[in-house]
Amino acid sequence: MKKEIHPESYRAVVFKDMSNDYMFIGKSTASSSETVTWEDGTEYPLIKCEITYKSHPFYTGKMQFVDTAGRVDKFKTRYNKFKK
């Protein structure tokens, strides 16, 4: 590996899966303005994630249904007024 290209400011942070509120501690250099108190009473920076292995269909074996038809209908009704 090349020297002096990797950050040295790794710190413990809490990652939170926003789809099911699962949280775990890991190390990261990502900045965060939010903090959370962990089970041991220590306060850590909070990084919010959209998906983790606890909610990803590959690991859970469950597919999530996405309502694309509803989105299309919403789009059409919202922008129908601009139709000439």
**Closest residue by Cα to residue 49 from 21, 16, 20, 11:** 16
pLDDT tens profile 17-76: 888 888 999 999 998 999 999 999 999 999 998 888 777 666 566 665 555 567 777 778
pLDDT of residue 77 exceeding 60, the answer is yes
Q: What integer pLDDT is reported at residue 65 of this predicted model?
A: 56
Strands 35-37 and 43-49: antiparallel
**Closest residue by Cα to residue 19 from 53, 67, 68:** 53
36, exposed or middle or buried, with CB in 10 Å at 0-12, 13-18, 19+? middle
Distance of CA 70 to the CA centre of its chain: 23
